[in-house]
Amino acid sequence: MLIYLTVDNQGVLKTMAKPNLILVGPANEKPTVAGNNPNGRKGNDEYREREHLLPSEVEQLIAGAKDGRWGHRDATMIRLAYHHGLRAAEVVSLAWTQINLDEGVISVKRVKGSKSGDHPLLGEELRALRRLRRENPHSQWVFVTERGAPFTTDGFSAMVRRAGERAELKLKVHPHMLRHACGYKLANDGKDTRSLQAYLGHKNIQNTVRYTELAPNRFKDFWR
């Protein structure tokens, strides 16, 4: 039972009891990610082992994509997202005007305020893209559905998830893991942080440093 103060019409201060009122905490209090959610949901660490794929897992994912109905298209989407650190929105909005098959260059248009730039295309990427162009010679978009419409980010996410299931990956795969996989791989290959920052389009270098912090080759000579 709660007691509160009130003033009557004559200005006299009185106390009143409200037996049905319940004391609650502030509305802006949020449960922490450590796992004390009153609704029973565990913290993110309980669900995610890591947020990037290893190079071998990316290859497994690509193989899983190839087993699908539109295997060549799906595998090419995954490979480009991985090699160029593309976000889902950057993959699905990729237009043929951004691809120079003669020069072997892709113009990456970044989203979320990141810096755009040109990347060289690998031989296997060029071969895959030329095949896609032959299959859809009049399309504005590089990656289209069977109806000829551009992909959506949800459609790309669903495709990646299905490829992960076919590949029997233990992790629950989502598209942004490919961007993280790119940063992890290049950092582990010894690429300097500034170059990696420019490649991924990060405005803040602190977003790039996390990949060098993950790279295990930092410690490879510690016991020699």
**Per-residue model confidence as pLDDT tens for the chain (224 residues):** 555 555 555 555 555 555 554 444 444 444 434 444 555 555 444 445 678 899 999 999 999 999 999 999 999 999 999 999 999 999 999 999 999 999 999 999 999 889 999 999 999 999 999 999 999 999 999 999 988 899 999 999 999 999 999 999 988 999 999 999 999 999 999 899 999 999 999 999 898 988 877 666 766 766 76
pTM for this model (two decimals): 0.75
Looking at residue 43, its pLDDT comes to 45
Angle between helix 206-214 and 193-200 (nearest 10)? 120
How many CB atoms lie under 10 A from the CB of residue 104?
Answer: 15
Looking at residue 140, its pLDDT comes to 96
Looking at residue 30, its pLDDT comes to 42
Looking at residue 223, its pLDDT comes to 72
Looking at residue 23, its pLDDT comes to 44
Looking at residue 9, its pLDDT comes to 57
Structural tokens at position 171: 């992790």
Looking at residue 76, its pLDDT comes to 98
Looking at residue 32, its pLDDT comes to 39
SS (H, E, C) the chain: CEEEEEECCCCCEEEEEECCCCCCCCCCCCCCCCCCCCCCCCCHHHHCCCCCCCHHHHHHHHHHHHCCCCHHHHHHHHHHHHHHCCCHHHHHCCEHHHEECCCCEEEECCCCCCCCEEEECCHHHHHHHHHHHHHCCCCCECCECCCCCECCHHHHHHHHHHHHHHCCCCCCCCCHHHHHHHHHHHHHCCCCHHHHHHHHCCCCCHHHHHHHHHCHHHHCCCCC
Looking at residue 117, its pLDDT comes to 95
Looking at the annotation, which residues are catalytic?
A: 87, 112, 176, 179, 202, 211
**Which domains does the chain possess?**
55-202 (1.10.443.10)
Q: How many CA atoms lie within 13 A of 131 on its CB side?
A: 13
